[in-house]
């Protein structure tokens, strides 16, 4: 017993020494939380390069209130358990500003911790509506919601595609199921029947049974709510097993990897994505800055992540403070001009307006606007 107490005291001493080390630096730290590893790390990269570019440019322009911003990466691997561990680590490291997390299922549990600890969190990628329904004051996002994206997809299906038999498939995760449900209710409101509404298991590799079932139900349109590793395999197996159907997915599938997984089967896939901010002439110099570093500015979360950092930095400058509560209060009542356009948050921390656009995906990983 005695030795245990000794060990605990020793442990406390060590952690206090470590904490002392982090507090001693004058820089303003911003935690960048998202998947560095795991199956959706590509999206993490988009978020990281966007946020790091913003930090670099703000520092080059003199920093914030005379201090430099420092980005610290945390890997949650898009795993809710690891996201909670990361959030606790950020609290322990004394960081007050977070850009992230990426996956809605990670953001949700992490946001509870940030709210309790008074940490400002801006996610550039989590689109599940539930995240901002808790009445939290510290949680924001610089991306649209599934409840916006779903109806855009649903309306496009009803007005442009006009399929005969629709199936809606999802991966049972918060993001995928949320968006799939929104699509289902939109097309049903437009007078279409959804003949199949089913979940699959994320990480699964064999979808031949599902494809056979889609074929049997004579489905000619499939909406998939989820991420690219599963949809890529579904597309590939559909082609091999002779299913003739048009596929569509949310921005979680809009990634070059879907083309390498599905190959020719990814040609013509419909994807709803945030508008191509990199095509906006106002962002030309920023796009050039990414290109100079050999980075790809076209990913859907790059500009939202840049904007997330910028909004926080602007608020710190305007309030002249790095007090997170003060910054959050300022963010709630101010409009910002960012690469994703004018950003204004509502009382929930969501953007007051955000557009999604439907694109045609091509097998070389490029995309073009769908008509």
Partner 1 sequence: MSDSIYYFIQQIANGLTIGSTYALIAIGYTMVYGIIGMINFAHGEVYMIGTYISFIVLAGLTMLGFDNVFIMVGLAMLVGIMIASAYGFTIEKVAYKPLRSSKRLIALISAIGMSIFLQNYIRLAQGSRDIAMPSMIQGGFLLGDPDGSHILISYMQVIIIVTTVICMAGLTLFISRSRMGRACRASAQDIGMTNLLGINSNNVIATTFIIGASLAAVAGTLLGMYYGVVNPYVGFIAGLKAFTAAVLGGIGSIPGAMLGGLLLGVSESLTAGYFTAEYKDVVAFSLLILILLFMPQGILGKPEVEKI
Which residues sit at the interface with partner 1, rule CB under 8 A?
Answer: 37-39, 41-42, 172, 198-201, 203-210, 212-213, 216, 229, 232-233, 236, 240-242, 257, 260-261, 263
Closest CB 231 distance from partner 1, rounded Å = 12
Task: Tell me the Ramachandran region of residue 100: left when phi exceeds 0, alpha when psi lies from -120 to 50, beta otherwise.
Answer: left
Closest CB 77 distance from partner 1, rounded Å = 8
The residues near 150 (Cβ < 8 Å, ≥ 6 apart) are 178, 179, 180, 181, 182, 183, 185, 186
> Closer to partner 1 at the Cβ: 73 or 172?
172
> Closer to partner 1 at the Cβ: 208 or 352?
208
Closest CB 241 distance from partner 1, rounded Å = 6
Closest CB 208 distance from partner 1, rounded Å = 4
> Closer to partner 1 at the Cβ: 109 or 263?
263
Q: Which two tokens stand for residue 117?
A: 């600890």
Closest CB 48 distance from partner 1, rounded Å = 15
> Closer to partner 1 at the Cβ: 209 or 366?
209
User: Token pair 């245990």 is at which residue?
Assistant: 4
> Closer to partner 1 at the Cβ: 232 or 274?
232
Per-residue burial over 135-144, b = 16 or more CB atoms within 10 Å of its CB, e = otherwise: ebbbbbbbbb
Closest CB 199 distance from partner 1, rounded Å = 4
Closest CB 259 distance from partner 1, rounded Å = 9
Q: Which two tokens stand for residue 370?
A: 């769908």
Closest CB 43 distance from partner 1, rounded Å = 11
> Closer to partner 1 at the Cβ: 145 or 200?
200
Quick one: which of 144, 162, 175, 159 has its CA closest to 273? Answer: 144
> Closer to partner 1 at the Cβ: 160 or 208?
208
> Closer to partner 1 at the Cβ: 41 or 70?
41
> Closer to partner 1 at the Cβ: 49 or 122?
49
Q: What's the gap between Cα 15 and its chain centre?
A: 33
Closest CB 339 distance from partner 1, rounded Å = 27
């Amino acid at each position: 017993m005695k030795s245990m107490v000794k060990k605990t005291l020793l442990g406390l001493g060590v952690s206090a020494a470590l904490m002392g080390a982090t507090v001693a630096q004058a820089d303003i730290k911003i935690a960048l939380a998202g998947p560095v590893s795991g199956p959706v790390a590509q999206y993490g990269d988009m978020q990281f390069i966007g946020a790091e570019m913003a930090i670099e440019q703000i520092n080059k322009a003199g920093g914030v209130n005379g201090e430099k911003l420092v980005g610290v990466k945390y890997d949650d691997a898009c795993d809710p358990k690891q996201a909670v561990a990361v959030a606790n680590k950020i609290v322990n490291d004394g960081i007050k500003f977070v850009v992230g997390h990426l996956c809605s299922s990670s953001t949700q549990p992490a946001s509870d911790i940030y709210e309790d600890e008074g940490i400002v969190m801006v996610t550039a990628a989590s689109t599940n509506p539930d995240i901002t329904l808790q009445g939290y004051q510290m949680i924001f996002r610089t991306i649209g919601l599934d409840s916006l994206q779903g109806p855009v997809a649903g309306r496009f299906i009803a007005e442009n595609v006009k399929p005969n038999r629709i199936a809606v498939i999802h991966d049972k995760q918060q993001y995928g199921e949320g968006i799939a449900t929104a699509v289902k209710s939109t097309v049903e409101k437009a007078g279409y029947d959804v003949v199949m509404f089913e979940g699959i298991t994320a990480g699964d590799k064999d979808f031949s049974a599902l494809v056979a079932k889609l074929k049997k139900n004579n489905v000619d349109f499939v909406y998939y709510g989820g991420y690219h590793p599963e949809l890529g395999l579904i597309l590939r197996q559909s082609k091999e097993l002779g299913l003739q159907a048009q596929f569509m997915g949310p921005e979680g599938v809009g990634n070059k990897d879907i083309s390498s997984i599905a190959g020719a089967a990814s040609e013509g896939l419909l994807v709803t994505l945030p508008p191509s901010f990199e095509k906006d002439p106002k962002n030309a110099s920023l796009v050039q800055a990414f290109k100079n570093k050999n980075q790809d500015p076209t990913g859907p979360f790059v500009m939202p992540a840049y904007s997330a950092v910028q909004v926080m930095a602007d608020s710190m400058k305007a309030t002249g403070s790095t007090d997170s509560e003060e910054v959050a209060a300022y963010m709630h009542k101010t409009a910002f001009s960012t690469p994703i356009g004018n950003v204004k948050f509502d009382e929930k921390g969501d953007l007051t307006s955000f557009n999604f656009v439907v694109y045609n995906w091509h097998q070389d990983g490029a995309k073009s606007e769908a008509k």
